Amino acid sequence: MCGIVGYTGSRQAYPVILKGLKRLEYRGYDSSGVALLKDGKLNVYKKKGKVADLEEAMIGKDIDASIGIGHTRWATHGEPSDRNAHPHSSSNGKLAMIHNGIIENYAQIKQDLVKKGYQFTSDTDTEVLLNFIEDIQKNNDHCSLEEALRIALKRVSGAYCILLIEQDNPDTIIAARKGSPLVIGIGKGEHFLASDASPIIEYTKEVVYVNDYELAIVKPDELILKNLGNEKVTPYITKLDMELAAIEKGGYDHFMLKEIFEQPSTIYDCLRGRLDAKELSIKMSGIDQHVNELMNANRIMILACGTSWHAGLVAEYIIEELCRIPVEVEYASEFRYRNPIVNKGDVIIAISQSGETADTLVALEKAKENGAFIFGVVNAVGSSIARISNAGAYTHAGPEIGVASTKAFTGQLAVLMMLALAIAKHKGTITADRYNNLLLELEGIPEKVEVILKNAGELKKMADKYKNASDFLFLGRGYNFPVALEGALKLKEISYIHAEGYPAAEMKHGPIALVDDQLPVVFIATQDTYHEKIVSNMQEIKARKGRIISIITEGDTVCPTLSDDYFSIPAVDELIAPILTVIPLQLLAYYVGTAKGIDVDKPRNLAKSVTVE
Ligand code: M6R
């Protein structure tokens, strides 16, 4: 949540920061601001709304500075407003700070500061931390900002990535992180700081991922990393493997549409070099080096949130079927706060697009403490979850910018399928024929996705027809039950239409009461073990005059007779079907959202990366 950017060097800082904020807007977009420092003068500008509103408000302002920090906010403490926007200024006006995260014990600190006479201009926890730092400087013989920050951070609880600049320190940004990401780009005589690499990529490919409990003192020509004990830490420089084109819209109206249409190539990239259709084998170093831990797992627990959790549900079905290992799928947010039983010999699979989801990260720390082996299925390279994992496999979907996750989900399914196949082969729980067939089916998926995308226009027409519905029901069985959940999530997050996903058989236990001649019911009814059963469920909805939309296998002659509208996908093995069946649902949600005039890349109240609990 919240995007942060900082620059120190010889360029004009504002254009670098503004462009960076636009790239990070997916992380939060209810207000934004910048602080620029020149000749001992700190100028702070902020504005409620999107970064474009800030840009407009900045016209005619003094932007001449070669050091600055900028922030795009997803509100936690305090409503979205100009005064709650970051950067915040300290009471004496000498410091400016931006923050991504939550200071949990801010209320107590605030009370103490108020008793000392501090006044606050915002409702944020950030302003509290900033004045706390100012107060520490005052009470410690005007110690350096770095020292004051170190003292403050030892006394606060919660999560943070913060950037600080100081009036009397003309070229230095001080940064610190715990639980919220920070990347530092290393240029020639300049440094870039950001929540992810997207604001940095066009200037340099050399970056340092700052770790938790580290402080960075960043000047144009110098980067010093220290731990909270004031000991120097050697920065580990990584080369970015990402191109600028990957984070631009490339002619599409929205990132979400671009990302949906990228799926043939992202799935191909995910399989490439891993799935060998000639040799009929899967080679993944993360699996090959840890075969014993994986195949001897007593139990697999999958921890994730949102769409990634849905991928976990699909994996539960597949792994139990192919590997005969018991699997439990848990919301990371629930796992972290209960007293779960995790034993040595348990394998945890962590699924995350961003690799920074706070609940997932903390749940993993807890599982790791209990001796579990962690296998990460992560999209963002170098992210916190990737780094905390004992082993893993990247989804290789490239940067996902639209708030609604699409290509990351199909990448997760592809990785999880390969993982299940590899474990099953090692364990001997799959026949050679079944293994070979599934492997070849998986290899053929990118082409089948192309076929679906060619018919996107049909879904646009459907979207126009159903866009005014106030509720939707999504139903699926077996491997397609999690897809029903995902279809409902996609629709509600970008169209604001209430939608529920259910296992089709559960419908009779309650949701059927909702059915009337206004309710669209989306069935995922491809040819599989459950086909006859789901046809019966369709009959039940039809008998109650519900409006049926079905996702079917091409050639199905039964479902069309029961459906008001249907969309055909190519035939595929039922274990792999979710990679295909989800795509029409992504498109349906996209077209409904855009038909309603919603900014689908930045739907209200959401942020791409949920780095607060
Ligand atoms: O980055 P993660 O995969 O850990 O994120 C998990 C969820 O926040 C995410 O999937 C969210 O539900 C998306 N907005 C769904 O489209």
In this structure, what CATH number is given to the domain that contains residue 433?
A: 3.40.50.10490
354 Cβ inside 6 Å of ligand 1: yes
Q: Do 533 and 407 share a structural domain?
A: no
Find the 509 Cα to ligand 1 centroid distance in Å.
29
- Whether 610 is in the pocket of ligand 1, judged by its Cβ within 6 Å, is yes
* Of the candidates 162, 11, 24, the residue with the CA atom closest to the CA atom of residue 95: 162
Q: What percent of the chain has pLDDT over 70?
A: 100
Structure tokens at 7: 């620059």
Structural domain including 84 reads 3-246
In this prediction, residues 299-327 reach a mean pLDDT of 97
Beta bridge partners of 73: 31
Mutational test site, ligand 1, from 357, 383, 412, max ligand atoms within 8 Å of CB: 357
Rounded distance, CA 368 to CA 389, Å?
9
**404 ligand 1 Cβ < 6 A:** yes
| Whether residue 374 sits in one domain with residue 320 | yes
pLDDT digits (tens, 9 = 90+) for 385-433: 999 999 999 999 998 999 999 999 999 999 999 999 999 999 999 999 9
Q: Which helix (H) or strand (E) holds 551?
A: strand 547-553
Q: Is 85 left (phi over 0), alpha (psi -120 to 50) or beta?
A: beta
| pLDDT level of residue 193 (50, 70, 90 thresholds) | very high
**What tokens does 179 get?**
């639980």
- Considering the domain boundaries, does residue 611 fall inside one? no
Indicate if the pLDDT at residue 468 is higher than 80: yes
Question: Is residue 466 one of the residues assigned to a domain?
Answer: yes
The number of the ligand 1 atom at minimal distance from the alpha carbon of 385 is 4
The mean pLDDT value of the chain amounts to 94
Dist CA 469 CA 248 (whole Å): 33
CB 354 within 8 A of CB 330: no
- Any domain includes 516: yes
Catalytic residues: 2, 608
State residue 121's pLDDT score: 95
- The larger pLDDT score, comparing residue 248 to residue 570, is at 570
Gap between the Cα atoms of 332 and 547, Å rounded = 35
The total number of structural domains that make up the chain: 3
User: How would residue 21 be classed by pLDDT, with cut points 50, 70 and 90?
Assistant: very high
pLDDT of residue 74: 87
Looking at the fold, whether 181 and 219 belong to one and the same domain comes out as yes
CA of 360, closest atom in ligand 1? 4
Structure confidence at residue 322 (pLDDT)? 97
> Which residue has its alpha carbon closest to ligand 1 atom 9?
306
Cα–Cα distances (Å) from 384 to 178, 351, 366, 378, 403, in that order, read 10, 12, 14, 10, 19
Q: Which two tokens stand for residue 279?
A: 């040799």
Confirm whether 606 is domain-assigned: no
Q: How far apart are CA 63 and CA 47, in angstroms?
A: 15
Task: Answer yes or no: is pLDDT of 454 > 90.
Answer: yes
Is 0.85 surpassed by the pTM of this model? no
Lowest mean pLDDT among 203-207, 313-317, 382-386: 382-386
Judge whether 368 and 374 are in contact, CB under 8 Å.
yes
pLDDT grade, residue 94 (50/70/90)? very high
Q: Which of 260, 307, 377, 379 to mutate to test the pocket of ligand 1 (most atoms within 8 A of CB)?
A: 307
- Mean pLDDT to the nearest integer, 50-55: 95
Domain of residue 117, CATH code: 3.60.20.10
- Residue 608, in any domain of the structure: no
Amino acid 225 reads L
Residues 185 and 265 in one domain: no
190: three-class secondary structure by DSSP: coil
